Every structure is written in structure tokens, then in C-alpha cells.
Structure 1
């Protein structure tokens, strides 16, 4: 197993970022679409595998199981060359620091990749919502499956950040999330073989999911999936959420979660990984040239 020292990892991150910003816009969207769907695949798997676990093993084990399966999305993204906004929040700025590329090209990458991520996540949310998350009878009437009930519960929880301190908590969760996500990206870069990349990515992603942190692209799966399945809940199932103070809909998805989480994710990747590692290793990177 080949292991690259830290200075080479940072330099390789900058090289990766330089390559990414040079892609044409349509390619950024296409690769972003793939990664958005892959992250949604991990989120959908976490929804299914975490269902009912807390009732038997407690909330801690339920969180661990969700965290253990969710990393499949980033593993596929890294190993197949797809583009994820939250990873590019660190890689593109690293290229700007090392290779002096323009910040306009960084923002261009962020915008098109984010668009692709949104499309991919929404498409997979639809696939899950009308697939495993619902049951259909011979008349064409649908009802939420046990996994669908879990999906709605997750989504409702993600939009119910009401009040200043709750939103501050959401913001901090978003920063912490992308701090870990980009450490996973760096650990994926540090190994040249598939097994090394797998474990390098898996542990930090497992940590962020199990800790209950907030990922913007994953939430663009979690919340829409819940919104789509919500209409299939029975009155008794809806009553479980009667204590929620914020409704679950397309508006609250953005205002109560995704916008603030996107900002927090950007700060977590840009400053807590990109800037810190660039400052820490800038002299060694200069010596490599």
C-alpha cells in the first residue's frame, strides 16, 4: 500500500482542483449529476438500514449503522471521478492557492457542480420515493412503507430548526460535516490503491453521519424524499409529527436547511481544511516545485 506524506497529499489536492476547474461546464454538470445520485444512494441506504434499529439497540447503534453504510456515495464518487460540491469546496480553492488560478474559475466550478448535484439527488429521491419508500396495491393506491415513514421522519427533523440558536446549531453541524468530508477526500488522495482509498474515505464519513452532522447534497435527497412520501402517510402516521413546529415542504427545505447548510459546508471545506493545510504546508509545497 503506497502512502503519500502530508505535503504531497496537499500538493495532489491542488493538482486535482486545477484539473477540475478546467473542465467544460457541461462536464461539470454531468459529473455533478453522477455524484449527487451517488450521495443519494448512500443516504437512501442509510434510511433503510437505520429503520427500527433504535427500538432494539438504542439511538447510538442506529446512528452507527447509518454512518457505516452512508459512505458508499463518496467512495463511488472518488473512485469513479464524479464531482461533489462539498469536496470541491476544498479542492478548487487549494488549486487557487497553489497554482494561482482565478477565483472566478473556482466559483464557476462550484456553481455547475452544485447544479448537477441537485439534479442527481432529486432524481434519486424520486426513484426511492416511488420505489422502496412506498407500497402500491392493485388499484394503484400508494401508502408509505416502513422505510418511507423513516424517510419522512428524517426529512421533518431536518427542517425543524426553529429559532436563532437552532439555526446556529444547524450552521455548526454543517461546518463540522464538511470538515470531516474533506479530511476523507485528503485521506482518499493519500493512498494509490482502492483498498487504501476505501478505508481512508470510510472512517471520516462514518464519523460525520453517526455524529448527526449536516451535508447539503445529502439533504437534497433526504428532504425531497420525505416531501414526496409525506402524501402517502396515514392520518395516524402524520399524527406522530404533530409536535413539529415547522411544516415539511419545498420552501422550508431551502429556508430551514439547505441554504444555511451549503454556506456552512463551504466554510468547513474552504477554511478548516483548505486554508489551514495550505498555510501549514505552503513552504514545503514551494520546495517541491
Structure 2
């Protein structure tokens, strides 16, 4: 599968972070819009499969198809740039600054949200025949997911917020591992296999992904979920974004950078 050694693919991670920081506003928005839309469609697909088969594992097995498609096409998710762009600053690449990192994160967030919201509207129309009927079984499930993962956390107070945050951390630990896995191979098959495994883990375990949630919760509101926009923002999206940032940067980006790129000096053998 043309596997690349860690030192090689971590160098590609730093290069990718630099490239994303220097990308034009137009290209950043287009690529993040498409990433949000494709991932949202994959989420709708996975929920549909889970509802129709009664087996969530099958939905989780198939969900990574969207993630693989968007990364093979060079589109960007917020969870990925959380991990990659700071590395260019750590490495003091020319033009890489923290203000540039914040600019990139803001643009990718907006693009991802717009793409996910577009698909949320389209799928709500499909599930209700243009809002002329009650939601079908899949639409009802999406509404229930939105309700359970907002007011469900709120019902547990601080413990619910902690659980939500940790699920966000664990999510991007896995998702960013998938982003990096795509750099471990120079073949399409190798990239897909590498990406598929951690994305399957995150989705089946019910971890919180900020971009998937940009689809699930707005569509849940359109489909009759019993929660509010403020419930969504306070009891899901904002803590999830923070958790995704911590998980991706701490457990994937900074860890790989520190041990495979800025490797510590070898110990001197004592005879």
C-alpha cells in the first residue's frame, strides 16, 4: 500500500498545515463548504441505513465513505485544520502566524456550517415531502438524536457538560487520526483503508463531531425535535468544537509532531 514512515507523513502534516494557512479566502470557503455538505450527506446516509436495518453498526461501517470522498477531493473539515494548521506555526514556517490560524479556523467553520446546513434543509424537504407531511422514520430519528444529545446532556448538568466535552475530545482524536492516516500512503486504496478504521470507531461510539452536528441538529429542529437553537449551541456545538480542538491538537497533531518531527536526542549508550 506504499506506506510512508512516520517521519515522512508528519512532514506532510506540517506542509499541509502551511498550505492551508496560505490558501485564499475563496478557496478555503469553497473547500470547507463542500466538506461540510459531503459529511452531512454521509451522516444522513448512515442514519438512514441504521433505521432501515435496525443495526447501528452497519450505518457506522458505511459512514466513512463520505469522509474518504471529501478528503480524496482535497476538501477541509474544521476538525482537520484544528490539528494541522498549528503545526506550521510550531515549525515557524514563513507566513504562519496564530492570527492566520484563527482566520483559517473561522473560515472553515463558516464554510462547513453553510454546507451542512444546505444538506440539512434538503434532507428535511425529502423526509417531509416539502414540509407537507410528518417526518418519515428517518426524519423522526434525526429529531430524536438532536433532542437526546442536547437536553439529554443538560439534564445531567455539569456532569453532562463534562461528558459532552470528553466525547468531543475522543471524537477528534479518532477523526484526526483518520486525516493523518490518509497521508500514510500514496495510493487511493491505502488512504481509504487508513481513513476508514478510526472514522468507524468515532461514529459507532457516538462521539461528538462538530461538523456532523451542524447537520444533525439544524435538521432535527426542522423535523420537530423538542429542543431550541440555544440548547443546540450551549449543550452541544460550542463544547463539541472546544473538545474537538483539544482532542485533535493534543492527542494527534502535537503528539506526532513532537515525537516524529522534533525528535528528542537519542540517549547515549553507557558501557
Q: TM-score, normalised by structure 1?
A: 0.86
State the shift of 1:74 in Å: 1.5
Q: Would you identify which runs of 4 or more consecutive aligned residues in structure 1 move more than 6 Å?
A: none
CA-to-aligned-CA distance 1:205-249 (integer Å, 9 cap, x gap): 000011110000100100111111118xxxxxxxxxxxxxxx412
Counterpart residue number, 1:277: 256
Counterpart residue number, 1:23: 23
2: CA distance, partners of 1:142 / 1:122: 21
1: CA distance, partners of 2:208 / 2:58: 17
Counterpart residue number, 1:94: 87
Counterpart residue number, 2:65: 72
**Matches of residues 86-125 of structure 1 in structure 2 within 5 Å?**
86-100=79-93, 101-125=96-120
Select 1:148's aligned residue among 139, 142, 154: 139
1: CA distance, partners of 2:245 / 2:133: 39
1:166 paired to 2:145: no
SS in structure 1 opposite 2:123? helix
CA-to-aligned-CA distance 1:133-166 (integer Å, 9 cap, x gap): 2246xxx832211111111111111212111001
Contact 1:90 1:269 in 2 (8 A): yes
Compute the RMSD of aligned alpha carbons: 1.7
Contact 2:175 2:202 in 1 (8 A): yes
Contact 1:18 1:99 in 2 (8 A): no
Instruction: Tell me the matched-pair count.
Output: 260
Counterpart residue number, 1:201: 195
Contact 1:174 1:261 in 2 (8 A): yes
Select 1:252's aligned residue among 221, 224, 231: 231
Q: Identify the range of structure 1 (25-34 vs 65-74) with the bigger mean alpha-carbon deviation.
A: 65-74
**Matches of residues 123-272 of structure 1 in structure 2 within 5 Å?**
123-131=118-126, 133-135=127-129, 141-159=132-150, 160-162=152-154, 163-230=157-224, 247-272=226-251
CA-to-aligned-CA distance 1:22-78 (integer Å, 9 cap, x gap): 111122111110000011011100110010544xxxxxxx33222112112221121
Counterpart residue number, 2:2: 2
Contact 1:67 1:206 in 2 (8 A): yes
State the shift of 1:284 in Å: 4.9
SS in structure 2 opposite 1:141? coil
Structure 2 gaps, min length 5: 266-271
Structure 1 gaps, min length 5: 55-61, 232-246
Contact 1:7 1:284 in 2 (8 A): no
1: CA distance, partners of 2:264 / 2:50: 43
Counterpart residue number, 2:268: none
Counterpart residue number, 1:82: 75
